[in-house]
Structure 1
Amino acid sequence: MPRTPRLALALTSTLTAGLALAVAPGTADATPGSGVSAVTLFDYTVGDTPYVLREITIAPGGSTGWHEHPGTLHGVVTKGVLSHFDATCKSDGVYKAGQSVSEGSNYVHIGKNLGSVPMVLDVLYTNPAGQPLAIDEPNPGCDFQ
């Protein structure tokens, strides 16, 4: 086999393995989201603080999956209703269009769309530099996802 195809094959294999590691969940029992899509509207760092504005849409019946954030976030529901549950399996808020929601760091929770229309949430994340926007967590023992 000529040298160039071997090098291309080796690079492709290495990149594929790296991509698989990058997208693999960090927690074996993490609860993935379903029916969720997000678009980044703004991503800018001031000093050591990144500010990321995203529009998150959860389809009817969908959820974010259990997760936490390393920083704080502030959001506004622009369409639909967001049902929010904490790690004790209790509702900690129901947010309708026009209402705001804030979350502190290291707070395990899940957001769900129990309605019949898509829920849209504009969220401003202020996480520590180098940290992900969210960290997947296992279900804390609730009988719903």
Structure 2
Amino acid sequence: MIVASPFATLLSPATALATPPVGASAVTLAKQTIDGMDYIVSELTIAPGGSTGWHTNEGELYGVVKAGTVNHFIVDCTQDGVHSAGDPITDPAGPDHVHTVRNLGNVPAVLDITYVDSAGAPTTDSAPNPGCPFE
């Protein structure tokens, strides 16, 4: 079992003001490369009051909430989804889809996530807070 954060990326001057995750950790459960694509399955846990930090996904993301509830916010600071245990969750790829996932509840939120990325690409890229009154 590999313990890593899918939100850990090297900071360049362009991302120096990126928002780091708070109370979020991930365990990589499986990784397979097929035909130049990485398929990475991770279990993400977000503590009450925690968040993934603002970021984008390099590739497609598919998942399911196993426990708790998460709130998904997009670049204009609006909430575009609330996902509870049993709900599927998806995120589009690319730099135009800046978002954060927050746990506004009082129990840990646990998600199983599959990332589909080009081989060797990071699963996420940190992004600065777009001006929202929350991280």
TM-score, normalised via structure 2 length: 0.89
Give the C-alpha shift of residue 70 in structure 1: 1.0
Deviation string 1:22-49 (CA, Å, 9 cap, x unpaired) is: 9652311100010011100010011111
2: CA distance, partners of 1:125 / 1:32: 19
SS of equivalent residue, structure 1 residue 117: coil
Q: Across the two proteins, how many residue pairs are aligned to each other?
A: 124
More helix by share: 1
Query: Which residue of structure 1 aligns with residue 11 of structure 2?
Result: 25
Unaligned runs of 5+ in 2: 1-7
Report which stretch shifted further, 52-61 or 126-135: 126-135
Query: Which residue of structure 1 aligns with residue 100 of structure 2?
Result: 110
SS of equivalent residue, structure 1 residue 127: strand
Say which one has the larger Rg: 1
* 1:55 partner letter: E
Q: Is the 8 A contact 2:55 2:126 kept in 1?
A: yes
Q: Is the 8 A contact 2:28 2:40 kept in 1?
A: yes
Q: Is the 8 A contact 2:9 2:126 kept in 1?
A: no
Residue 70 of structure 1 pairs with residue 58 of structure 2: yes
Runs of 4+ in 1 over 4 A off after TM superposition: none
1: CA distance, partners of 2:122 / 2:33: 14
Report which structure shows greater RCO (CA 8 Å, sep ≥6): 2
Using a 3 Å threshold, how does the CA distance of structure 1 residues 95 and 46 change in structure 2: closer, same or farther? same
Residue 55 of structure 1 pairs with residue 55 of structure 2: no
2: CA distance, partners of 1:42 / 1:63: 23
Using a 3 Å threshold, how does the CA distance of structure 1 residues 44 and 24 change in structure 2: closer, same or farther? closer
Query: Which residue of structure 1 aligns with residue 3 of structure 2?
Result: none
Deviation string 1:15-73 (CA, Å, 9 cap, x unpaired) is: xxxxxxx9652311100010011100010011111100000000000000000011100
* 1:141 partner letter: G
Match of residue 119, structure 1, among 84, 89, 109: 109
Report which stretch shifted further, 58-67 or 128-137: 128-137
2: CA distance, partners of 1:111 / 1:120: 12
Report which stretch shifted further, 24-33 or 111-120: 24-33
Q: Is the 8 A contact 2:9 2:125 kept in 1?
A: no
